[in-house]
Amino acid sequence: MAPFVLFPGRHHLLTRFQADYLRRLAGGGSTIVWAVTSANHENTKRNPVPYHRREAAIERFSVLTGLRSLVVPIFDTAPTDAFAEVTLKTITVATGLDLTPADTLVACSTPQVAKLYERLGFPIDWAEADPAEPAAPERPWDVLLRLSRGDDTWRDLAHPATIDVLERYRLIDTVRTVINDPIIGDEGGLTATRDYRTYVEAFTVAAQREWAAVRQYVQPGRIVDIGCGAGSVLELADREPGLHESDLIGVEIARHLYQECLHKKDQGVFRNANVYFYQRNVLGGAIFADRSVDTTLTFALTHEIWSYGDRRESVLQFARRIHAHTVPGGVWINSDVCGPGDPQRPVLLRLTRDDGANPSVARTDLADLPPSEVKTYVESLSTRARLDQFAVDFAFPFTYEPVDDRTVRIDQASAMDYLNRKDYVDNWLSETKEQFCGLSFADWTALLTEIGFDIDPASAPIRNDWVIDNRIAPVASLSDLDGKPLPWPATHLLAVARRQRNG
């Protein structure tokens, strides 16, 4: 009997089978070392339960089964063949134990993981996935999926320790919501190709401008920034003397950005003691009680709800939730991209061919390439050729008709969607999943009025002249079908929507 049994895994759910299995394996007094992987992940499809709740369930499991356990958090790393070595070193740092093949048996149910430890000489004991056992018991993850589907038979397979922790901390609905969420990806982001370091930098640069544009409309009290990114706007709100007694609350769906917010709070960036962050998808259900929020801020968010959800219906649902949690007389301030006032108008778009390569056919395999190669390729294209590539990758199909080698006939909204996105080469495949011009300012006004908001006179369509002058006009021109030059349409909007005091 080995002194130690190493049991690596995510351990979101513990089963009755595991209790019987580990009692047999460690019945002579072995210590179970639970290496809880992805310990720094929570609220994602692959990792819906936070580590501290997993640890609580394991400790309760150990008491109920009479097992001696050590629980060690293993933070997620980039894919590596040295993951077993990383795990063993982490255990040594955390516990002082130097586990070796001579004193440790590895209990495992994943062949790929087992191979990593076999390569180091560790003996393997198969748990649920014994290759010689065709009728293997159900794995914990499959039991968790039963829970997510509303199949109550999960309780027959789960260990009472897990059932107790999930019920006490009200995690059953959370697990169902996160696993079934149509928007959140496996790793807690919107797309797998997004480079969040680029976004953190962009948020920081834009925060001063965004806060200056909306500060005068912010009402003290409970202030919520939905889609808060790295918390840059809330940092500026935190410095406002008139808001020092307000609650500042950030809500972010992307795990990477949410963790950056927590890091800032841990480092003492915020002076206000009442700063809180939540990793949530607002479309998944109400976060705040009705009539409890004085100011809601959204920056560059609603076009993502439109793009990744059910278009207008998703935006409408989102807006209704905001209206519901807004106090009478409270305000929702939305700053985002928007479409031109006449989106379907056919126009002539003339693009330069002199600033890059002009291949005869756009590529259809960019999704199979590493992000760095995608960036290099798209960056090499001319502005005209990049339109052809955009048409292949854009998740919202549009048609255009070449007039000559530089000019195409296209609807105005699709033209602006391309022009506003053509320089986003760092996150090309992520950005082409989003539509900037799905709603015009008139569409927004109608939607907000339908819900019951009053539109403040400060609300307006806005044209970002810096983008026009520096990114678009030097390489593109817009004209009507007779060739008469057209002014560049609005690119953004500021909507200040107030809930009626008697509403």
Report the distance separating Cα 91 and Cα 473, nearest Å: 58
The residues, any chain, with a CB within 8 Å of residue 385's CB and separated by 6 or more, are 353, 356, 357, 358, 359, 362
Q: What angle, rounded to 10 degrees, do the helices at 16-25 and 51-65 form?
A: 60
* Nearest CA among 480, 365, 372 for reference residue 426: 372
Report the distance separating Cα 334 and Cα 448, nearest Å: 11
Q: What is the pLDDT of residue 11?
A: 96
Q: What are 120-171's pLDDT values in tens digits? A: 999 999 988 654 555 678 899 999 999 999 999 999 999 999 999 999 999 9
Q: What is the pLDDT of residue 28?
A: 79
Kindly tell me if the per-residue pLDDT of 186 is higher than 60: no
Report the distance separating Cα 129 and Cα 269, nearest Å: 47
Arithmetic mean of pLDDT, 32-43: 91
Q: The sheet that has 346-351: what strands, in order across it?
A: 400-402, 407-411, 346-351, 476-479
Q: What is the pLDDT of residue 416?
A: 98
Arithmetic mean of pLDDT, 427-437: 95
Q: Are strands 222-226 and 124-126 parallel, antiparallel or unpaired?
A: unpaired
Arithmetic mean of pLDDT, 191-204: 54
Beta-sheet strands, E only, within 10-67: 31-37
Report the distance separating Cα 29 and Cα 139, nearest Å: 25
Arithmetic mean of pLDDT, 307-325: 93
**What percent of the chain is predicted at pLDDT more than 90?**
77
| Mean per-residue pLDDT over the chain, rounded | 91
- Buried b / exposed e over 407-426, threshold 16 CB at 10 Å, is bbebbbbbbbbbbbbbbebb
Report the distance separating Cα 424 and Cα 421, nearest Å: 6
Report the distance separating Cα 226 and Cα 217, nearest Å: 16
3-state secondary structure 93-128: HHHCCCCCCCCEEEEECCHHHHHHHHCCCCCEEECC
Arithmetic mean of pLDDT, 57-86: 92
Kindly tell me if the per-residue pLDDT of 399 is higher than 70: yes
Q: Are 444 and 338 in contact (CB under 8 A)?
A: yes
Q: What are 449-481's pLDDT values in tens digits? A: 999 999 999 999 999 999 999 999 999 999 999
From residue 110, give the alpha-carbon distance in Å to each of 122, 126, 127, 129, 141: 15, 8, 9, 7, 12
Confidence of residue 285 (pLDDT cuts 50, 70, 90): low
Q: What is the pLDDT of residue 352?
A: 98
Q: What is the pLDDT of residue 287?
A: 80
Q: Are 376 and 369 in contact (CB under 8 A)?
A: no
* Nearest CA among 303, 256, 290, 280 for reference residue 492: 303
Q: What is the pLDDT of residue 76?
A: 83
Note the residue count of the chain.
503
Kindly tell me if the per-residue pLDDT of 213 is higher than 70: yes
Beta-sheet strands, E only, within 354-426: 400-402, 407-411
Arithmetic mean of pLDDT, 419-442: 95
Q: What is the pLDDT of residue 191?
A: 45
DSSP 62: H
Q: Are 30 and 66 in contact (CB under 8 A)?
A: no
The neighbour count for residue 452, using CB atoms within 10 Å, is 15
Q: What is the pLDDT of residue 281?
A: 77
Arithmetic mean of pLDDT, 73-84: 87
Kindly tell me if the per-residue pLDDT of 193 is higher than 50: no
DSSP letter string, 150-214 = T-TTHHHHB-HHHHHHHHHTT-HHHHHHHHH-SSS-TTSSS-TT--HHHHHHHHHHHHHHHHHHH
- Tokens coding 91: 């255990």
Q: What is the pTM of this model?
A: 0.71
Is 336 strand, coil or helix? Answer: strand
Q: What is the pLDDT of residue 129?
A: 66
Kindly tell me if the per-residue pLDDT of 182 is higher than 60: no
- Tokens coding 335: 């700053």
Kindly tell me if the per-residue pLDDT of 57 is higher than 70: yes
